[in-house]
Amino acid sequence: MGGMSQLISPTLSSPASPACPFQRRRRSQASAPRRPRATRPAVISCESGPSERVDRREVLLGLGGMCAAGGLGVGRRGDALALPIQAPNLSECQTAGTSSGNNCCPPYSATILDYKFTPTGKLRVRRPAHKVDEAYLAKYKKAVELMKALPADDPRSFAQQANVHCAYCDGAYDQVGFPDLELQVHNSWLFFPFHRFYLHFHERILGKLIGDDSFALPFWNWDAPAGMTIPQIFTDPSSSLYDPLRDPAHQPPEVLDMDLGDAAPTPQRQIDLNLSIMYRQMRRGGSMENSPHGPVHVWVGDPRQPNGENMGIFYSAGRDPIFYSHHANVDRMWQVWKKLNPRNVDFTDQDWLDSSFLFYDEDARLVRVKVRDCLDPEMLGFTYQKVDLPWLSKRATPRATPAGESSSTSSSPPDFPLTLSSLASITLKRPKVSRPQADKDKQEETLVVDGIEFDPTNCVKFDVYVDDTDAGEVKPDDSEFAGSFFNVPHGRGNKKKGKMEAMTTTLRLGITDLLEDLKLDDDDEILVTLIPRRGKGKVKIGGVRIELSS
């Protein structure tokens, strides 16, 4: 299948310091812009090795680039295979698996209705947050103000809305029929549909509170230069849209850093890097959930808090109103991706289409929804205002290799499993060289980092480079940069054992275009380098390989 396997991906804190501290950086000089070139989208699949069958209920494909196995039950329960995820049983909701043991459970209702959306004839239009007018802003502020004023036990209240994310993302629910399997919407193919429904009902509740059926959430347009700062509508301390638990150093006009790098570029250079990251994630088999979704969460969160609250850790992310605009843009990327190329299509697997969730609607009724009902935004009554996509012209260009220096230098292979505490390089044999274009269109050459094991409560990031002897100097707008692994801190406690469990996942990066750019299409071997950026020594790597993915 040549579809969502290119856009999904799996990707958390000590009491004394933030889970994902953001280091203050000095600015450097800007670099010259890159020349754009044409490309084709990569096609990535997610599967286990020859001896292990992957449970599809734990696989995160396409819009992300990774496969999550991590202690969620892969290979443990054969009867759990080939079954759609069922909506959780609210009566069995438990304390979320966070370090502070949060109770994120919603109010209980024994009555569940199958949700039927009734079109109103006019689509709600989600617009860029930095372009909304005063009339809209007044309505939005009033709607959130009224939501925050609702009783604490009202499932439509702002606190309860925030708890929805905590419950589905931090282990409050087990999978129905499989008590040893946690229901987790991150790092799985449930990521996009869950959040689309979540925003839909949040939006409908806000509209109901102000009596405006046309009300739509704004989207944080962080994929365009004009939107790469926190939108001004969220910065007024007297507004209901304000959250004091944000990084004070990242207020406007500070430019969003999608890379969370150590050195601080000039604002224009940062914008260029962000656009290059967007290009890679949307056009080359990257992971939208992995980045920029994850780095934006951490960049906004407050490093003065124990876990980077609110946005910097999943259990509290929904407490910040900006969360909903952030995810509106993530959701928008799903739509943009499907329109970039006819091959970019949603999964057709019935297990995915029939997976279901529970939400409270604008009338406080508990409703059941299925993934198949959210694939077309217009069927849910909303659309996005069309805006420019400046990252489409940001294809990376290879750096010049110094005279007399071979960039494919052999390297002594490290011993796996490897604790990634410093740079690690390995020379890998390619499965096939000099492939014709027709073959490339059918199969993506994929770099696979297997057995990525880490504590999900830690912030972890490492970069992956190809064919570079000085990988420490490579930036996201260089062709040698293949991609990154990034984990947003989240609780994943085993409630029966009373402890946090390690997560194991696999990162998959499409490298067909990258190898063409580097003129390595005819090489039998390539040099791959992993560099830890955050959580050094806190992640293990099981192995690295190259395969062809259909």
Active site residue 202: no
202, 297, 326, 490: which one is catalytic?
297
User: Is 186 annotated as belonging to a binding site?
Assistant: yes
What is the edge-to-edge ordering of all strands in the sheet holding 113-114? Answer: 113-114, 366-370, 356-360
- State how far the Cα of 180 lies from the Cα of 103, in Å rounded to an integer: 20
Residue 518: closest CA among 420, 447, 424: 447
130, 200, 326, 327: which one is catalytic?
327
User: Is 250 annotated as belonging to a binding site?
Assistant: no
- State how far the Cα of 273 lies from the Cα of 266, in Å rounded to an integer: 10
22, 130, 158, 165: which one is catalytic?
165
- State how far the Cα of 213 lies from the Cα of 217, in Å rounded to an integer: 12
CB of 430 within 8 A of CB of 525? yes
Q: Which residues pair with 452 in a beta bridge?
A: 505
22, 130, 178, 195: which one is catalytic?
195
CB of 38 within 8 A of CB of 513? no
Q: Write the DSSP symbol of residue 473.
A: G
Q: What number of CA atoms fall less than 13 Å from residue 546's CA on the CB side?
A: 22
CB of 7 within 8 A of CB of 62? yes
Active site residue 200: no
Active site residue 165: yes
User: Is 490 annotated as belonging to a binding site?
Assistant: no
186, 200, 202, 490: which one is catalytic?
186
Active site residue 293: yes
40-50: b or e for each residue (b if 16 or more CB lie within 10 Å)? bbbbbbbbbee
User: Is 130 annotated as belonging to a binding site?
Assistant: no
User: Is 200 annotated as belonging to a binding site?
Assistant: no
- State how far the Cα of 534 lies from the Cα of 130, in Å rounded to an integer: 31
197, 201, 219, 314: which one is catalytic?
314
Active site residue 314: yes
Q: Which residues have CB under 8 Å from 518's CB, separation 6+? A: 398, 407, 466, 467, 479, 480
Active site residue 195: yes
Q: Which residues pair with 527 in a beta bridge?
A: 427
- State how far the Cα of 529 lies from the Cα of 408, in Å rounded to an integer: 11
CB of 532 within 8 A of CB of 539? yes
User: Is 165 annotated as belonging to a binding site?
Assistant: yes
Which residues define the annotated binding site?
Answer: 165, 186, 195, 293, 297, 327
State the catalytic residues. 165, 186, 195, 293, 297, 314, 327
Which residues define the annotated binding site for Cu cation?
Answer: 165, 186, 195, 293, 297, 327
